[in-house]
Structures are given as structure tokens and as C-alpha cells.
Amino acid sequence: MMKYTEMTARQRQAEYDAVLADYEKQKALGLKLNMARGKPSTEQLNMVMDMCSVLVKPEDFVSDGIDSRNYGNVDGLPAAKALFADILGCKPEQCFVGGNASLQLMYDAISKAYTHGLLHSEKPWSKLEKVKWLCPAPGYDRHFKVTQTFGAELITVPMTADGPDMDRVEELIQDPAVKGMWNVPKYSNPEGVVYSDETIRRIASMKPAAPDFMLMWDNAYCIHEFEGDFVPFADILSLCAEYGNADMVYEFASTSKVTFPGAGVSVMATSEANLAYLKPIINIQTIGYDKINQLRHVKYLKNKEHTLALMQRHAAILRPKFHTVLDALDREIAPLGIGTWKRPMGGYFVSYDAMPGTAKRALALCKEAGVTMTGAGATFPYGEDPRDSNIRIAPSLPPVEELQQAIAIFCICVKLAALEKLGV
Ligand code: PMP
């Protein structure tokens, strides 16, 4: 195999004819495959079914004297706060345990900034001329959409192998209109980047011009290695406090990829001062979240150590799937010099950078051949990848045999798109 850019026009034409023939063959199979969203597989969901039988008798539903079936405790059961504090390395008093979706807690925190203002806000953000928001990219599409829906101006910050480009961040936060920043510090979505210790320190010690700057620290994949041992991570709350930024940070996590995405438990960890301010405001909209589900999780997951053991069982299911994708890329694409990717150790995605200007075309070809992928551009603010290059691959949902077919078709499509771009 030879790099496409080093081929003569005739060689490229011959390669194109061969790849196109492969493509037509695959298309004729009429497959329906999906590598679009980071969903756990049925096998993973089935693995945790015991959680549904931990609460049976009436007395099972009582935790620390609190009847989980009844109203109250808007910030969650103490036992649930203790479980998340153990996992995140923060204090139980800093944890607000919510419903099934951490995304809802994130949306709600930002929504409160707009409607009520935060603890250190001069006024609600809805009364401001302009709100700007830092979006390390490639990043998580749903994050970007949350801040976009409130009308913030999204500013792209390039991601590096160590996390966001901090020189750029430190420059941008001098602007008081810059009110916050998205982060996925461990196994970032989609690249699987783990922020370096130095990047994390630079973030924790930032001095933004906005007094109510929100450091959104979405630790969605904090215990989600599929390769190797658990990698410890810093407690961002105490690091921020160390630099006088205790009220700047809002950390999020959930059990969506530990138990059930449709019925897990989420947490927002932030300073006690922030919680004292936010709790009464949140209490207007709900008397309490689903504490039965919180208790089910407490009884089933028990503590950090026990949860990490479960994560190794998830890893055993996920690992072969990631290997299927990465091996196919190594074998089919690496020698051709038409794309790059990283080898993540955890998280739910592989991020593929296609030859610039070909991502949209490659995914259109995939769609025609029955393979659904996350739309090109989704990993950038406003859904616009300026280089039309980044593609997010989600290998978790399909069984390995289907994934083999899907990634084979994907490789054919990125080859075709690259050959078209180079000219045939
Ligand atoms: N954050 C990140 C970075 C994610 O990738 C996802 C799911 N894809 C979520 C949050 C969603 O989390 P939850 O289910 O807790 O809303």
C-alpha cells in the first residue's frame, strides 16, 4: 500500500475504481449499522440488572432515617452524596445529587445564571449585552448546544494533547464578557484526551475578569477506562479553592455509563457557598429528585472501590470494540496517509481526523451505505468544523461483528472521499 498523495494519477484512478467496487458491494448488502451515539450496549445494561432488585421490602427504602419514597432532600440522600464524594474525591457537603441526567444539571446551572444570576453575579446574564463562552474543540456537541440555546457567543479554543490551549484561554478570559468554559477533563469527548496536571493547575488558578465565571468541569468519564488500570484524577474543587477560586468550579458526573443512561443518577459538585445559594432556587422547581433511584445506586454500587470493579467489567465488553475500530484504522488507513486519530485509554469515542475538506462527503457516503455516524461538524461550536475534518466514532453500541462491518464501510468511505478530493 502506498500513500494516496504519492500515487500517480493512474495509480489513483485504479485505486478509486477498486474502492468504488468495494463500496457498491457493501451498499448492495443493505445493512443498517450505527456508530453515532455513545450508548452502552445491551450486554452492558443486562450486566447491571441486579440493581433493580436491591429494594424490595418497605424498610429497604429507608436510608439514614430518610424514607426515600417520600418528598424532600432536594440535594439528594446523604448516602448518595457520600458515594459521589468518594468517587470524585470531594466532600459530601459539596455534592448535589440530582436526577438521571448530568446534562440537565449543567443546563439548569447555566439557566439559573441567566434567570437569577450566580452567587457572584452583578445581575442575571439575561440582562447583559453579551455573554461569551469558551468551547475547547473538538468537543461534546450537547455542551455547545446548551450555551448556544441561551444565546452565548461560542468561542472555539483548540484542543491539544494536554487539554485546551491554555495560552489562548488565559488571553480570552481577560474579557469580562467571557462567562464560562466547557471541559471534559478525563477521556474528553470525542478525542479521549486526559488533561495534563499542568493544564489542570493552570485552569484551577485562572483569574477571569468575570467575577461569576463558570468553570464547567464535566467529569463524565472519570472512572471509565477501557484499557489498563484506573487512572486517579485531581479533586478540582480543592485545587480551585487552593487558588482562591472555590466558587468558580462546577463539577458534574453521572452513572449513565456505569448503570443505565436512561435511569442513572447525576451529581453536581461545587462549593458549599454555591450550593447554599443555588439550593433554595432549585427547590422552587422541585421538592426533590428520585431518591429511590439514588438509594438503589447506593446499595448496588456501594463505594468507589466496588464501582471501579464494575467498571472493569464494562471495560472487558468495550475493549474488543475499540480494538476492532482502531485495528481497522491501523490496517486500512494508516498506510495511505489520509487520516489521523488517537488511541484513547477510556471514554466512549474514537476521534478521526479525515483529510481536510472530506468529512462531510465521507459521512454522506456512509449514510448511503447504511452506516449512521454523528454528523460531520458536530464536534465544533455551531456544528461547523472549519476544516471539515473531524469525525466522531462511537463503537460501544453495536456487537463486534456489526462493528467490523460498520468500520470496514467507514474506511471505504473515507478512502473514496480522499480520492475524490485528490482528483481522479
Ligand atoms: N457529558 C459528556 C462529556 C458526555 O459524553 C455525555 C454523554 N454522551 C454526557 C455528559 C451525558 O451525561 P448524562 O447522561 O449524565 O446526561
CB 68 within 8 A of CB 294: yes
- Is the distance from the beta carbon of residue 103 to the nearest atom of ligand 1 less than 6 Å? yes
Q: Are residues 298 and 312 in the same domain?
A: no
Q: Are 275 and 237 in contact (CB under 8 A)?
A: no
On whether residue 115 sits in a domain, the answer given is: yes
- Dihedral angle computed from the Cα positions of residues 187, 189, 190 and 193, in that order, rounded to the nearest 10 degrees: -30
Question: Is the domain of 110 the same as that of 137?
Answer: yes
Whole-number pLDDT of residue 344:
98
- Considering the domain architecture, whether residues 39 and 64 belong to the same structural domain is answered as no
Asked whether 254 lines ligand 1 (CB < 6 A), one says: yes
Round to whole Å and give the CA distance between 1 and 420.
18
Model pLDDT, residue 305: 98
**pLDDT at position 424:** 86
How many domains are there within the chain? 2
Report which secondary-structure segment, H or E, holds 29. Answer: none
Domain match, 397 and 271 both? no
pTM, two decimals, is 0.98
Q: Among 255, 281, 303, which residue terminates a domain?
A: 303
Which CATH number belongs to the domain containing residue 18 in this structure? Answer: 3.90.1150.10
Q: What separation in Å is there between the alpha carbon of 24 and the centre of ligand 1?
A: 36
Q: Are 257 and 335 part of one and the same domain?
A: no
Cell numbers at residue 391, please?
469525525
pLDDT the model gives residue 219: 98
Domain hosting 167: range is: 55-303
CA of 220 to the centre of ligand 1 (A): 6
Domain end among 254, 286, 303: 303
Beta strands in 234-284 (DSSP E): 249-254, 266-270
CA gap 351, 336 in Å, rounded: 18
Residue of minimum CA distance from atom 1 in ligand 1:
220
Ligand 1 atom showing the smallest separation from residue 347 Cα: 5
pLDDT (tens, 9 = 90+) of the chain, 424 residues, equals 899 999 999 999 999 999 999 999 999 999 999 999 899 999 999 999 999 999 999 999 999 999 999 999 999 999 999 999 999 999 999 999 999 999 999 999 999 999 999 999 999 999 999 999 999 999 999 999 999 999 999 999 999 999 999 999 999 999 999 999 999 999 999 999 999 999 999 999 999 999 999 999 999 999 999 999 999 999 999 999 999 999 999 999 999 999 999 999 999 999 999 999 999 999 999 999 999 999 999 999 999 999 999 999 999 999 999 999 999 999 999 999 999 999 999 999 999 999 999 999 999 999 999 999 999 999 999 999 999 999 999 999 999 999 999 999 999 999 999 999 999 8
- Is the CB–ligand 1 distance for residue 101 below 6 Å? yes
Are residue 317 and residue 399 in the same domain, yes or no?
yes
Q: At how many degrees (to 10) do helices 359-368 and 400-422 cross?
A: 130
CATH of the domain at 227: 3.40.640.10
Give the per-residue pLDDT at 37: 87
CA-to-CA distance for 45 and 401, rounded, in angstroms?
Answer: 19
CA distance linking residue 52 with residue 59, whole number of Å: 16
Supply φ then ψ for residue 222, to 5 degrees.
-65, -25
Based on the fold, state whether residues 209 and 247 are members of the same structural domain. yes
Complete DSSP assignment for 170-236: HHHTTSTTEEEEEE--SS-TTT-PPPPHHHHHHHHT---SSTT-EEEEE-TTTT-BSSSS------H
In ligand 1, which atom is closest to the CA atom of 348? Answer: 5
Shared domain for 340 and 282, answered yes or no, is no
For ligand 1, atom 6, name the residue with the nearest CA: 220
Is 334 a member of any domain?
yes
Strand-strand pairing, 153-160 and 132-137: parallel
The Å distance, Cα 324 to ligand 1 centre, comes to 24
Q: Which of 249, 242, 238 is nearest to 274 (CA)?
A: 249
Going by C-alpha positions, the residue among 273, 269, 187, 196 that lies closest to residue 236 is 269
The whole-number pLDDT of residue 1 equals 84
